[in-house]
Amino acid sequence: MIRCREPLYRPPAEAGSLILQAAYGCAHNRCTFCGMYKGVRYQVRPEAELFGEISEAARLYPETRRVFLADGNALGLGYDRLRPLLERLAEAFPRLARVNLYANCRSIAALTDGELTGLRRLKLNTLYTGLESGSQRVLDLVHKGESAAETVRQVRRAEAAGFTCSVMVLVGLGGQSYSEEHADATAAALNLMRPTLLSALRVIPPGVLFDGFRELTEYQAVGELHRLIGLLELERTVFRADHPSNPAPLAGRFPQDKYRLLAELEATRRGGLLDRDGPGMRPYAL
């Protein structure tokens, strides 16, 4: 029997993937901007239970080509748990092309170069990881528990080992007080990181992120994203800012689409339909 315990989250790009929960919840679970696993006790699932679920999934969905391993940092299971799990998935699904999962900086750093290469050979492909901000001050305020500089280094290590890293940043994470610092430092970190995939989401606070936090208005959020994109100097990066949280949905590639993206944001700001006075969402047109 396939067991899915709520809440269950996956990236939008994994809509067509078979989802298997290798663990429940998030081992860190202290980021103030994230309400995904609050109230969920972190628990690694027993191997025998998970392998039985894989056998059942193989019976029901034998043509599976993509698998997403949940929950919120499955790479943190480590090499000794992931290797047999990936081997079992390859045995169960003959047409398997790739396995993707969430990963944080610490979980990448815990793996040797040889272990990273070994997992990549076993069809582990895309690591979804959150930079969130390049400002260490902002990261500390929201209790991210990681270093922006170390995240840059670990993403570069993972991509050098053959992984595709899908990196997320959060527009508005620094609030009104640190908006420019957040945009500038995030652009600087991304320029060093050069991820294959980049997503920008507007932060929707589940509560007060830090003392003195004031959420950006829609108008300010579009301005912050404009500043961030204007500072990016990326090569061969696919960019998405089309999550429903974003007041101005965008998609393109760097470097060729940079100035089109900036023009679309500027047109949105001049359209007169963004909320300048408060954080509430209002209709807009491009």
The pLDDT tens digits for 108-130 are: 999 999 999 999 999 999 999 99
The pLDDT assigned to 8 comes to: 87
pLDDT at 277 over 70: no
- Structure token digits, residue 16: 């067509």
pLDDT at 243 over 50: yes
Q: What percent of the chain has pLDDT over 90?
A: 85
pLDDT at 281 over 90: no
Contact 72, 26 (CB under 8 A): yes
**Choice among 39-43, 164-168, 193-197 with the minimum mean pLDDT:** 39-43
Query: pLDDT averaged over the chain?
Result: 93
Measure the CA–CA gap between 169 and 110, rounded to whole angstroms: 23
The pLDDT assigned to 244 comes to: 86
- Positive or negative torsion for Cα 197, 104, 106, 71: negative
Nearest to 250 by CA among 278, 277, 216, 221: 221
pLDDT at 224 over 50: yes
- Structure token digits, residue 198: 């980049």
Contact 134, 185 (CB under 8 A): yes
**Choice among 3-7, 154-158, 213-217, 229-233 with the minimum mean pLDDT:** 3-7
The pLDDT assigned to 1 comes to: 54
**pLDDT tens digits, residue range 63-105?**
999 999 999 899 999 999 999 999 999 999 999 999 999 999 9
pLDDT at 26 over 80: yes
The pLDDT assigned to 264 comes to: 96
pTM of the model as a whole: 0.93
**pLDDT tens digits, residue range 184-221?**
999 999 999 999 999 999 999 998 999 999 999 999 99
Measure the CA–CA gap between 245 and 240, rounded to whole angstroms: 12
> In the structure, what pLDDT confidence band is assigned to residue 6 with cuts at 50, 70 and 90?
confident
Residue 177's contacts (CB-CB under 8 Å, 6 or more residues apart) are 212, 213, 214
The pLDDT assigned to 114 comes to: 98
Nearest to 5 by CA among 48, 49, 62, 64: 49
Give me the count of residues in the chain.
286
Measure the CA–CA gap between 275 and 283, rounded to whole angstroms: 9
The pLDDT assigned to 3 comes to: 72
> In the structure, what pLDDT confidence band is assigned to residue 284 with cuts at 50, 70 and 90?
very low
